[in-house]
Amino acid sequence: MPDIAPGSKVLALGHYQPANVVTNDDLAKTIDTNDEWIQSRVGIKERRIAPDGESVEDMAAIAGGKALAASGLSPDDIDLVIVATCTLETQIPNAAAVVAHRMGINSPGAFDVNAACAGFCYALGTANAAVRAGAARNALVIGAEKLSQWIDWTDRSTAVIFADGAGAAVVGPSDTPGIGPVVWGSSGDKADAISIKDRNDHLYQEGQTVFRWATTALHPVALEACSRAGVDPAELAAFVPHQANLRIIESIARKLGADKAVIARDIVTAGNTSAASIPLALSRMLERGEVRSGDLALVLGFGAGLTYAGQVIEIP
């Protein structure tokens, strides 16, 4: 069957961050770390941490509400809600149905995607396919995470990195494709490199294994996403990779050769918010005027699994 819509595009973005700012100096009061190490090794100056009682679903609903308002659509226009997250407090119910109900979206298809830090790009690829195929008129895609509830706050190898937040995108039909083909994949042989061993445990990461993989295996994925969209990296106005580590971001950006692109460095003030990091960064860049409507951006997620996904999109 032919696609119903010739393309889909991101119609609007929205984001939410908890109010509570935690600086590197704040962390150095309770664990053996310091501002110089964190900034030079990871690139983070400060991050936002949600208080007890503020959930993944709460943050997702606020970011989703902002994206929906900016799109000019009403809740009744949304047929599909996808929440990319790996940090729910409990496994059941899923976040998407709860978030949709809170937003007044009536009976949409609603499911969560757990592809960790690649989750938003997986969800965006799925929403693109659903809208083009006629399975949804419009879709709401949200990345939302509360990493803080899965972190051992005495473990300096993870406590300084991860943070909380949410970002969202409304996806609707378009006469020309505004979301390029997704390039996605996984390396399950390295599944143990980032994991939570059991329900009473905390997030564990073999930092150097992931670092080596991210700085060697991902630029070909970035280049393939550009090639499949028919876009030369030199044409990109923005490169928005998962905000894992500033050194990883800059390494991939160099190899990509996106010489004119603004590189997302949202990690500096937002930390690593896993599936939320890409829509959060992009929405904040748009808000600050660093990118403009109609610009082309490459988004690239990667993380636990190990999983990765990326595509070129037109900025709403």
- What is the smallest separation between the CB atom of 247 and ligand UT7, expressed in angstroms? 7
Dig out the tokens for 140 from the structure.
Answer: 């709401």
Pairwise CA distance, residues 204 & 151, whole Å: 8
Determine, following the binding rule CB under 6 A, whether residue 37 of this chain makes contact with ligand UT7: yes
C-alpha–C-alpha distance, residues 294 and 107, integer Å: 32
Cβ-based nearer residue to ligand UT7, 132 or 219: 219
Minimum CB separation of residue 297 from ligand UT7 in Å reads 20
Cβ-based nearer residue to ligand UT7, 237 or 244: 244
Sheet with 296-303, edge to edge strand ranges: 183-186, 307-314, 296-303, 238-241, 262-263
- Residues 56, 84, 313, 241, CA torsion sign: positive
Q: What 3-state DSSP class applies to 10?
A: strand
Active-site pick, 15, 114, 121, 242: 242
115 binds ligand UT7 (CB under 6 A): no
Q: Cα–Cα distance between 3 and 307 in angstroms, integer?
A: 27
Catalytic annotation present for 242: yes
Count helices and strands (H / E) in the chain: 11, 14
DSSP for 127-169 reads HHHHHHHTS-SSEEEEEEEEGGGGS-TT-HHHHTTB-EEEEEE
The reply on whether position 202 binds ligand UT7 by CB under 6 A is no
CA distance 21 to 17: 10
Judge whether 121 counts as a catalytic residue. no
Q: Scanning residues 139 to 168, which ones bind ligand UT7 (CB under 6 A)?
A: 156-157, 160-161
Q: Please, which residue, 240 or 315, has the CB nearer to ligand UT7?
A: 240
End-to-end CA distance of the chain: 29
Total residues contacting ligand UT7 by CB under 6 A comes to 21
Task: Say whether residue 221 binds ligand UT7 (CB under 6 A).
Answer: no
Closest to 64 measured CA to CA, from 52, 49, 53, 75: 75
Looking only at residues 163 through 192 of this chain, which bind ligand UT7 when binding is defined by CB under 6 A?
Answer: none
Of the listed 86, 117, 121, 226, which one is catalytic?
117
Q: Does the protein bind ligand UT7 through residue 244 (CB under 6 A)?
A: yes
Catalytic site includes residue 101 = no
Nearer to ligand UT7, 103 or 244 (CB): 244
Choose between 36 and 89: whose C-beta lies nearer to ligand UT7: 36
* The one segment of 2-10, 17-25, 74-82, 207-215 that binds ligand UT7 by CB under 6 A: 207-215
Plot region of 116 (φ>0 → left; ψ -120 to 50 → alpha; else → beta): left
User: Least distance to ligand UT7 from the beta carbon of 290, Å?
Assistant: 22
Closest approach of ligand UT7 to the CB of residue 303, in Å: 4
Nearest-angstrom CA–CA distance, 243 and 120:
12
* Residue from 87, 128, 272, 273 binding ligand UT7 (CB under 6 A): 272
| Residues labelled as active-site residues | 117, 242, 272
- Contacts with ligand UT7, residue ranges (CB under 6 A): 33, 37, 41-42, 117, 156-157, 160-161, 194, 207-208, 210-211, 214, 244-245, 248, 272, 274, 303
